[in-house]
Structure 1
């Protein structure tokens, strides 16, 4: 069975406000919510908004690519997301797209909005990873690492900087899939003040303890463990490896508090201990 993967965005008490902002722009819906977590969809993709506190801030190391079918669609989404935000790259004609721009919205999340070079029916959202600073040049290695960690995975495109470029051989652009979930990765040359952090993580829902153990061991080898299913891989990307049954357990009012008390003590999730709580 394919393990679901979806992004988690960290907020300081603004999770619902952000989810309402995004769903109003993309004409989508909030599917569930509680004081800690809001689940919503954009372009058919599940996203978690987490009220985690002030510790972490989103930055351009992980952004959302939104590929649009028409120029008016690009303009509409761009202008809406840019409200009280800022432009990182102006909306313009670039070699890779007739219309493209990169912005940071008012919540700190960054978006790369572009006109598709091929006909599409509706906007497509794809998480994009930018490998910067000490991880510059590690993009392609990371893609091979990730696609080897998940069964239903493949690399669709690898484009490198040309040999005459000072960044020759580094990853200019790539497209790949993890558990059939499309993603993008690039190496980010030049000086950058940011790199991956907990503000944007990837959640993987696992059916069995064996699946949890396998992914946890893969990512924490040369990475590091954190609490409540959080871990960081050797490339700096943060993951949440969680049992798929967790949401069901937490929605049961007779046991949710006991389940929470149990997993707050855990690093790697232990399904049996959650069931016994």
Structure 2
């Protein structure tokens, strides 16, 4: 068991969100679902928590009520090996959500994601500050990250 587990507070979409996420990511599954009992604070029988895994990372989703909303101050970072993986995750997670800048998007539940190719990180860490700077400027103008375009700009 991992020591730290992200705990996501939803109004009443915890199970729906967990099923959505596990349908997108490989090596993912629902581990357990618990329900509220007679003592509340939500209606008896309503899903209370959903324990699930995405790519081996444990998460818990809670149907806690409408009091709190997600915001971009916390995001889920996904390291992608290929443009195909970036494209797939971007398309799926944007369904019902919205694209943001620099590889960020907000999904239909309000959770912020960073869909980032490994290549971007490598290019930004290049010892040649001029090349890394060109990549940074290009990335800042992108919504979904385009690996081929970054490599073209890097090459000069």
2:1 is the alignment partner of 1:125: no
Structure 1 unaligned residues grouped into runs of 5+: 1-119
2:68 is the alignment partner of 1:154: no
Q: CA deviation at 1:164?
A: 7.5
| Separation in 2, partners of 1:218, 1:168 | 33
* TM-score, length basis structure 1: 0.52
| Separation in 2, partners of 1:156, 1:246 | 33
| Separation in 2, partners of 1:138, 1:205 | 26
Specify the alignment match of 1:138 in structure 2: 13
| Separation in 2, partners of 1:148, 1:199 | 25
* TM-score, length basis structure 2: 0.90
Alpha-carbon distance change, 244 to 169 in structure 1, aligned in 2, over 3 angstroms: farther
Specify the alignment match of 2:48 in structure 1: 172
| Contact preservation (8 Å) 2:103, 2:116 | yes
| Separation in 2, partners of 1:149, 1:167 | 30
Structure 1 counterpart of 2:70, from 186, 189, 196 = 196
Q: Cα RMSD over matched residues?
A: 1.7
Q: CA deviation at 1:248?
A: 1.2
| Separation in 2, partners of 1:184, 1:158 | 10
| Separation in 2, partners of 1:228, 1:157 | 35
By relative contact order (CA 8 Å, sep 6+), the higher-ranking structure is: 2
Q: CA deviation at 1:163?
A: 6.4
SS of 2:6's equivalent in the other structure is strand
Q: CA deviation at 1:253?
A: 3.1
2:144 is the alignment partner of 1:268: yes
Deviations 1:191-228 (A, max 9, x none): 62x31000000000111111111110111111001000
Alpha-carbon distance change, 160 to 196 in structure 1, aligned in 2, over 3 angstroms: same
Aligned length: 150
Specify the alignment match of 1:219 in structure 2: 93
Structure 2 unaligned residues grouped into runs of 5+: none
Deviations 1:145-181 (A, max 9, x none): 0000101101111001136755233321221100011
